Amino acid sequence: MSEPAANQNPSGVSRAEPAHHPERWTIPRPEIPPPPTHWPFVTAVGLTICFWGILLNLLVVCVGAGVFVIGMVGLIGDWVREHRTKSA
């Protein structure tokens, strides 16, 4: 394998090139980010409770699984609503 030239970094980009290339920039997707939601947090808490329940009690596992399912239903519901509003 050949050594990179003195004016290039390992990625092959020349150090002499300016750092900003507006002509090559693209608009990131999605242009409008989705609104913040609490469902990922609820899902993570449910999963955490579920794993704590493995150490503690079957009832705690069931409560954690319930919170996890509620969080997943809310998260999927948000995704479906977002998809419907984008395609309308």
% of the chain with per-residue pLDDT over 70 = 72
Question: Among the listed ranges 25-29, 50-54, 63-67, 73-77, which one has the minimum average pLDDT value?
Answer: 25-29
Q: Domain residues of the chain, as ranges?
A: 38-87
What is the predicted pLDDT for the residue at 12? 59
C-alpha closest to that of 49 among 30, 35, 36, 66? 66
The residue ranking higher by pLDDT, 11 or 33, is 33
62, 46 in Cβ contact below 8 A?
A: no
- Within the chain, residue ranges assigned H as helices are 39-56, 58-87
Q: What pTM value is reported for the model?
A: 0.64
**Residue 15 CB contacts under 8 Å (≥ 6 apart), including other chains:** 7, 8, 9
pLDDT digits (tens, 9 = 90+) for 23-50: 777 777 767 777 889 999 999 999 999 9
The residue ranking higher by pLDDT, 83 or 60, is 60
Mapping DSSP to helix (H, G, I), strand (E, B) and coil, where does residue 33 land?
A: coil
Token digits of residue 44: 């993570």
